[in-house]
């Protein structure tokens, strides 16, 4: 019974994610893919007292700097094509 419940608990969120992903633009979906791990990282640091090392903080910063560059490029491209 527990094995069946585990299958349902795993499948339902994946089906919901698939249904939502088909309705979003890929750029929006890509941005949301950053939100989940970031929220887990912040939750671990703030509520569970996880002590991130310098290597994890550098990696975290690089990921968000890359995301900022991507967003700025998208905004720049959109403004350039709208003129």
- DSSP string covering 9-50: HHHHHHHHHHHHHTTS-HHHHHHHHHHHHHHHHHHHHHTS--
Task: Take residue 58 and report the two structure tokens written for it.
Answer: 């550098």
pTM of the model: 0.57
Residue 83, pLDDT above cutoff 80: no
Q: What is the mean pLDDT of residues 73-77?
A: 90
Instruction: Supply the pLDDT for residue 47.
Output: 95
Instruction: Supply the pLDDT for residue 72.
Output: 92
Instruction: Supply the pLDDT for residue 22.
Output: 93
What would the pLDDT profile of 53-74 be if each residue is shown by its tens digit? 999 899 889 988 988 898 899 8
């Amino acid at each position: 019974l527990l094995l069946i419940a585990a299958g349902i608990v795993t499948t339902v969120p994946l089906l919901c994610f698939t249904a939502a992903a088909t309705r979003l633009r890929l750029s929006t979906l890509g941005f949301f893919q950053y939100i989940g791990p970031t929220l887990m990282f912040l939750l671990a640091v703030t509520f569970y007292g996880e002590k991130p090392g310098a290597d994890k903080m550098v990696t975290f910063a690089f990921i968000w700097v890359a995301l900022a560059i991507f967003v700025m490029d998208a905004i720049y491209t959109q403004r350039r094509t709208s003129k």
